[in-house]
Amino acid sequence: MLSSLPSRAAVLGMLCYLASKLPKDIAVNSYNMQGNKVNLTMKCASDPENALAQVGDSARYTMENLRKNRNQDGSYYVYLVLTVND
């Protein structure tokens, strides 16, 4: 099935990778892929610093950009750009 959707296979692979690395309290709000870059917006209840350190620990993905904003309620929005290494 993935071979019939080659443009989606990279995004699905990346989402599977993130699901295995990130704790359950980090939710992916949105994502899009442009070329070999994946832009993600995530939300979590507490500071995600330790969890995000694990994301850049892959030979398949390079963390290009990471920003986080703390909300008034103490939760965080995380903006992440990953590059898929070929």
pLDDT tier at 72, thresholds 50, 70, 90: very high
Displacement of CA 51 from its chain's centroid (Å): 11
Locate tokens 């080659």: which residue?
6
Does 69 score more than 90 pLDDT? yes
Q: Name which residue leads in pLDDT, 9 or 78.
A: 78
CB-based contacts of 59: which residues, under 8 Å, 6+ apart? 85
pLDDT tier at 47, thresholds 50, 70, 90: confident
- CATH number, domain 2-84: 3.30.1360
pTM of the model: 0.79
Q: Are the beta carbons of 36 and 21 closer than 8 angstroms?
A: no
Which residues on adjacent β-strands are paired with residue 62?
83
Q: Name which residue leads in pLDDT, 13 or 46.
A: 46
pLDDT for res 6: 60
Domain ranges of the chain: 2-84
3-class DSSP state of 55: helix
